[in-house]
């Protein structure tokens, strides 16, 4: 159940319904938590929810038409849910932190490459690609901080809730 609560929170922030500082969002943490705590047959749900939100933002808020960089983002969502599945077997603070950092770095690398490749904002040269990455560095800093923060909160809260539930079950017997 918590996985759905965290997903709804991430969708609300992603849709700009809950204002948080730019690039400070629970998306990566929600995807990792969902992958770690929900069965594989439900893995499409967070990808579809965030993809629909992204489509809405692109068309209605930003006025963009569909572009191929959205596919890269959607594939990244799926990758984060799968990476979260890796956490299901053995969830430790180190593994959650590593998965969060992997999420931050991979999103920075693939999303900015997609922006450079699809849009005409930067020259299609190595220098243009580097300019794209350099321009995104301030967003990357916020993304790393938010990914680590929300992953710690989500997984920490999930752990505390499971411990409380386990104690209740033991005392009832």
The predicted pLDDT at position 165 comes to 63
The predicted pLDDT at position 61 comes to 75
The predicted pLDDT at position 5 comes to 96
The predicted pLDDT at position 62 comes to 74
The predicted pLDDT at position 91 comes to 92
| Domain spans in the chain, listed from the N-terminal domain onward | 2-172
Instruction: Name the nearest CA neighbour of 104 among 152, 146, 53.
Output: 146
Q: How many other C-beta atoms are found inside a 10 Å radius of the C-beta of residue 171?
A: 7
Residues of the chain with pLDDT under 50: 170, 172-173
For 110-144, what is each residue's pLDDT tens digit?
999 999 999 999 999 999 999 999 999 999 999 99
Decide: 84 and 34 in contact? Cβ < 8 Å: yes
- The total number of residues shown for the chain amounts to 173
The predicted pLDDT at position 162 comes to 83
Question: pTM of the full predicted structure?
Answer: 0.89
The predicted pLDDT at position 58 comes to 80
Which ranges in 38-125 belong to alpha helices (H)? Answer: 44-56, 69-89, 93-118
């Amino acid at each position: 159940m918590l996985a759905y609560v965290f997903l709804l929170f991430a969708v609300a922030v992603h849709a700009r319904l809950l204002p948080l500082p730019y690039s400070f969002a629970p998306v990566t943490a929600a995807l990792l938590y969902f992958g770690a705590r929900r069965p594989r047959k439900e893995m499409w749900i967070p990808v579809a929810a965030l993809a629909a939100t992204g489509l809405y933002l692109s068309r209605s808020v930003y006025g963009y038409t569909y572009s191929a960089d959205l596919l890269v983002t959607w594939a990244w969502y799926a990758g984060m849910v799968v990476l979260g599945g890796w956490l299901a077997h053995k969830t430790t603070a180190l593994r959650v932190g590593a998965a969060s950092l992997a999420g931050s770095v991979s999103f920075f690398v693939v999303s900015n490459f997609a922006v450079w490749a699809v849009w005409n904002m930067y020259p299609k040269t190595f220098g243009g690609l580097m300019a794209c990455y350099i321009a995104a560095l301030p967003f990357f800093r916020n993304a790393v901080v938010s990914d680590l923060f929300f992953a710690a909160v989500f997984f920490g809260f999930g752990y505390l809730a499971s411990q409380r539930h386990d104690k209740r079950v033991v005392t009832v017997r």
